[in-house]
Amino acid sequence: MWRKLALLPSSRYSPIISLLRHGRGIQTSSSGSEVVESWRKKLEDLNVPDVKSSLDNMLGHVLSEKEVHNLSEKKDMMLTTEQLEHFEKLCHCRVARMPIQYIVGEWEFRDLLLKMQPPVFIPRPETEELVELILQKQEPTLPLTFLEIGCGCGAVSLALLKALPLAKCKAIDQSSMACLLTLKNAIYQKLSDRISVSQHKISERIKEDDFPVKFDFIVSNPPYVSSTDLMDLDPEIRLYEDLRALDGGEDGMNVIKAVLKVASKFLTDDGTLWLEVDSSHPELVVRYLDIHRASLKLKFVSSYTDLFQNERFIEIIREN
């Protein structure tokens, strides 16, 4: 039923495919350390960010090493010719500013190792904090049902399911590739029996039969970047990730408002909505809820800062 997802699915990535197939790299030798240092200098000269971390992770992928910290600084590293060629192909991708998560094809999120594939949105470290906030408010021994709006690769839904053994989840995304990748990760993590995944674009016209049940909580990391700021994003984001997962409209609030309407209709009484937003949005959300409180029956509870001390997460409850 499910096809294997192609790592580089469209002509958008054809320059990278060409590099992978035909790229000629730095002259290799039996010393892996020499090659790594040559690429370190090249990446630094090209102002590619996070050079050490990139090299560590690419080497870990080539060598099938789980512990990658400082791997690129080993002085006695020896690589086979095949390993050297593989490493250089990955380095060409990094020169082209492909995110390291797409290059190695997997990434850790909390205690999960998840498959990654362009252009499905890459989960950020801050989102792990959102999961932790939610778990602090849950009783793991109680059965509950929750909805994730914009599941991407499935990181949030699957992390919550793993920590809440009696929970069940409905996960939706407007991208068919994201839905497929979420299901693939659910199967890989042996959680597919407790998650239902479907393609669904959230709009302000929400029908009562869109979802057959009410949810104990809803979580969403919706698109919240202002449309005018999209072209200012780093090349790793702008060139490779699905911009639909980022574009929140003129003020970044378009999808957030749609999610609030979903929460109003499909949360249980006293159910909770958890949002990850831009630091400018908590104030806008409070204002919007004040204006529409009678119709939405939603109450702002609190906002929380992320590890960078930005106002990043919002807790909202549905009133009786």
* Alpha carbons 179 and 38: distance in angstroms, whole number: 40
Do residues 241 and 122 make contact, with C-beta atoms less than 8 angstroms apart? yes
pLDDT of residue 203: 72
Amino acid at 150: G
Catalytic residue among 87, 109, 121, 300: 121
- Active site (annotated) includes residue 282: no
Catalytic residue among 57, 185, 221, 254: 221
- Active site (annotated) includes residue 57: no
Higher pLDDT, 307 or 14: 307
For residues 18-23, average pLDDT? 45
State the average pLDDT for the chain: 91
Do residues 146 and 163 make contact, with C-beta atoms less than 8 angstroms apart? no
pLDDT digits (tens, 9 = 90+) for 95-121: 999 999 999 999 999 999 999 999 999
Question: pLDDT-based confidence at 204, cuts 50/70/90?
Answer: low
Catalytic residue among 118, 119, 222, 282: 222
- Active site (annotated) includes residue 165: no
pLDDT of residue 31: 78
Q: Is the pLDDT of residue 2 over 90?
A: no
Other CB atoms within 10 A of residue 294 CB: 6
Higher pLDDT, 112 or 8: 112
Residue 150 backbone zone (phi > 0: left; psi -120 to 50: alpha; other: beta): left
Written as six digits, the tokens of 216 are: 């104990």
For residues 295-318, average pLDDT? 97
For residues 162-179, average pLDDT? 97
pLDDT of residue 16: 55
